[in-house]
Every structure is written in C-alpha cells, then in structure tokens.
Chain A
C-alpha cells in the first residue's frame, strides 16, 4: 500500500522559534499533498493544499505567512511553523494523493502525524 511518513513525530520548541515538519510519500509520487491540523478530541481541519512546483492553496483563516508550505518534489512537502507560539501547539497531519484510475476519486494516504508543543 501507499506509505506516507512524517518527521519528526514529536517536537518541542520555544516560543518565537520556527519548526519544520516533513511529509514524504515513500513508495509513490504524490501529485497533491494536504496539511491538516487536529486539536485534542477534535476533527481534522484542512490547512492547505499543495501541488508539486506551485504555490500552496490555503484555507480561509489560515495564515500563509505563518504556516509556510513547500512542495519541492513529488515525494516531499514541508510545513514550517514560523515564530511559533503556544497556541500553535497541535497535532499536524499530512496526506498525499495520486491521480486516480478511471474512478475520478483521489484517495488520500495519511502520515502518522507530528505532535508540536510550543513552550
């Protein structure tokens, strides 16, 4: 099956620093990658959609200057939380999708998530 990895799995940082999270598709080329944020006991909130080689599309209310997304290749996307603050503490999950066959559906494969704690 399609495997997506995230690194790191956990990160603790001081307020004001920047943190980079990597999302990799290990055994397939992903045309699109997605970044989600999940608050405790809550559902996933889509932050942005990124396609290789182009700018990410951010959802309403997500600060693009704070959450920088780079999709440099078909197997790697990065999310950088700039000038992190305690309210940025959350569980960040990425997913990757591929072009479908004839179904028209783009299935997403999820990474294991990254727990960010900002002190």
Chain B
C-alpha cells in the first residue's frame, strides 16, 4: 500500500533563513509527487510536482524539491523564507495505475518568525 510521511508536524524558522520540509513515501509502483500549500481557511495551491525527468523540480514562490528514488524522499526546500510563507504544507503522491487518487501526508506547519 502507498503512504506518505511528513516527518515534522511543525517547523519554526526565522525570516530569511533556509528551510527544508521533509517528505518520504512508500510505494511498490511508480509514483508522481506533489507539494501543496494551504493558507488559513483556503483550499490547496500546487507548489510543484514531479512526474518524470529531472529529479530537481522548481516551483512557485522560490520553492524547489528533489526526488530521491533510492531514499524514497521528496523534500521541499527554500533558500530564504519570508513571513508570507507561513502556512501548512502538504506532500502528496499519486501512483501509476491508481486512477489519479492523491494520498496526502499529515502536513507540516511552517511558521516564519521575524
């Protein structure tokens, strides 16, 4: 069975510092990987996705993620965060043959402090 683990429920960080939000997945078949951001009382916005090709994926708002098949990871990074990046971040996976269902991780709350 497929699953997604976000290792950190909360990540506090100071403004302009770098940040990494961790995501690991478990699957016996090929996967497609996504990171979404959710601001309070809003839906989800796609940050970036890995479908195939280059393992380093660049997304919106300066975020990037690297797909590591051997470690089954898809960690999200940003070299310098802003106060406005404070939000909930979800890692999600869909898998080949899974009829496009998304499986979400538990989420990581990124809190950026001045």
Contact = CB atoms under 8 A, between A and B. Distances in A.
Interface string A24-58: 00000000101000000111101001000000000
B71 interface: no
B41 A104 contact: no
Contacts of A44: 44, 90, 104
A105 B29 CA distance: 13
Contacts of A4: 43
B44 A110 contact: yes
B100 A97 contact: yes
Contact of A105 (B41, B44, B100): B100
A43 B42 contact: no
Interface in B75-114: 90, 94, 96, 99-102, 104-107, 109
A108 B104 contact: no
Contacts of A49: 99, 101
Contacts of B96: 104
A107 B107 contact: no
A103 B94 CA distance: 12
A110 B45 contact: yes
B51 interface: yes
Given A43-B104, A104-B96, 17 more contacts: A4-B43, A6-B43, A34-B101, A34-B102, A42-B106, A43-B90, A43-B105, A93-B43, A95-B102, A103-B51, A105-B94, A108-B100, A108-B102, A110-B43, A110-B44, A111-B43, A115-B41
